[in-house]
């Protein structure tokens, strides 16, 4: 009998659909956190003031820590079901662009400070809702990672929303920069709520709650929510912008040049 499901190489039997979903869901969460962490890390020693340089660096470390936890769990699932020997490092450094499932918004260039903090807010407000759902998962490992990540993400939402308000309701220049950032990033938010076939959370049901949060912050910042904007998508299924290839080239060069190298 033919099957489109992955095959366990040790037993020859198909991997269950639920296991395959869980692996891909976990990789999606890991990839998204890793790529945004890599982008944010570009601000290290380049922040507008020392305090905020430290803040964005700490958020970077949070995201990479989240990615590590999700990758470690994904590797455990893959090794148990497919008889492989994956590690968090092999999943981060030895997969190609089409295998990554991160959201497109996370791979975009940082732009200026306004674009960076707005991206963090738009994403973190969404991530918070996803993690709220996952912390109640019947899968204890996934729920534990989500619960830990949620505490960090709640701070990310608070920090980034304060910056959106400060810049939106600030000087003429800061407001103009925030409006430009909205024009650049908004078209990538629709992907949040387009369900991938592996997602265990019903992300389309989170849209209204997310929108209400974003709208309340925008109103406080005296900013308008865009209407009738074309939405980009594809990251969840491995279709990316040209930017991801450059990120992976920089991030993966050491491991690909010296396979198995360790500090």
The mean pLDDT of 132-156, rounded to a whole number, is: 97
Look at residue 3 in the predicted model and tell me its pLDDT.
39
- The per-residue pLDDT of the chain, averaged, comes to 92
Q: Which residues pair with 14 in a beta bridge?
A: 7
pLDDT value at 14 more than 60: no
Fold of 17-227+240-257: Ferritin (1.20.1260)
The upper half-sphere exposure of residue 75, i.e. CA atoms within 13 Å in the direction of its Cβ, equals 17
Report which of 263, 251, 237 is spatially closest to residue 94, judged by C-alpha positions: 251
pLDDT band of residue 263 (cuts 50, 70, 90) is low
Q: Which residues contact 188 (CB under 8 A, 6 or more apart)?
A: 103, 104, 105, 108, 231, 232
> Measuring CA to CA, how many Å separate 21 from each of 27, 28, 233?
10, 10, 20
For residue range 56-68, what is the model confidence (pLDDT) as tens digits? 999 999 999 999 9
Residue count (the chain) = 263
For residue range 164-193, what is the model confidence (pLDDT) as tens digits? 999 999 999 999 999 999 999 999 999 999
pLDDT value at 15 more than 90: no
For residue range 227-252, what is the model confidence (pLDDT) as tens digits? 878 999 999 999 999 999 999 999 99
pLDDT band of residue 10 (cuts 50, 70, 90) is very low
* pTM (2 d.p.): 0.92
> Measuring CA to CA, how many Å separate 9 from each of 3, 6, 259?
14, 9, 24
* Alpha-carbon torsion angle 155, 31, 25, 185, nearest 10: 70
| Dihedral sign from CA coordinates of 21, 22, 26, 29 | positive
Would you list the domain boundaries of the chain?
17-227+240-257
The mean pLDDT of 43-51, rounded to a whole number, is: 86
* Alpha-carbon torsion angle 101, 7, 259, 91, nearest 10: 30
């Amino acid at each position: 009998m033919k099957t489109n499901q992955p095959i366990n190489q040790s037993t020859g039997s198909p991997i269950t659909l639920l296991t395959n979903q869980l692996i891909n869901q976990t990789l999606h969460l890991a990839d998204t956190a890793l790529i945004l962490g890599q982008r944010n890390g570009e601000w290290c020693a380049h922040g507008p003031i020392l305090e905020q340089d430290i803040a964005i660096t700490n958020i970077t470390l949070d995201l990479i820590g989240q990615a590590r936890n999700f990758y470690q769990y994904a590797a455990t699932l893959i090794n148990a079901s497919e008889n492989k020997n994956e590690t968090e490092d092999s999943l981060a450094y030895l997969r190609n662009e089409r295998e990554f499932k991160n959201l497109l918004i996370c791979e975009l260039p940082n732009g200026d400070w306004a674009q960076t903090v707005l991206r963090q807010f738009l994403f973190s407000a969404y991530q918070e809702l996803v993690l709220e759902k996952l912390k109640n998962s019947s899968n204890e490992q996934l729920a534990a990672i989500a619960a830990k990540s949620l505490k960090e993400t709640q701070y990310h939402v608070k920090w980034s929303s304060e910056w959106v308000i400060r810049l939106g309701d600030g000087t003429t220049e800061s407001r103009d920069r925030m409006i430009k950032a909205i024009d650049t990033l908004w078209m990538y938010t629709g992907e949040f709520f387009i369900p991938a076939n592996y997602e265990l959370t019903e992300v389309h049901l989170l849209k209204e709650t997310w929108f209400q949060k974003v709208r309340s912050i925008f109103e406080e910042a005296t900013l308008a929510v865009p209407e009738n904007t074309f939405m980009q998508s594809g990251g969840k299924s491995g279709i990316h912008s040209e930017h991801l290839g450059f990120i992976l080239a920089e991030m993966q060069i050491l491991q690909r040049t010296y396979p198995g190298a360790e500090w």
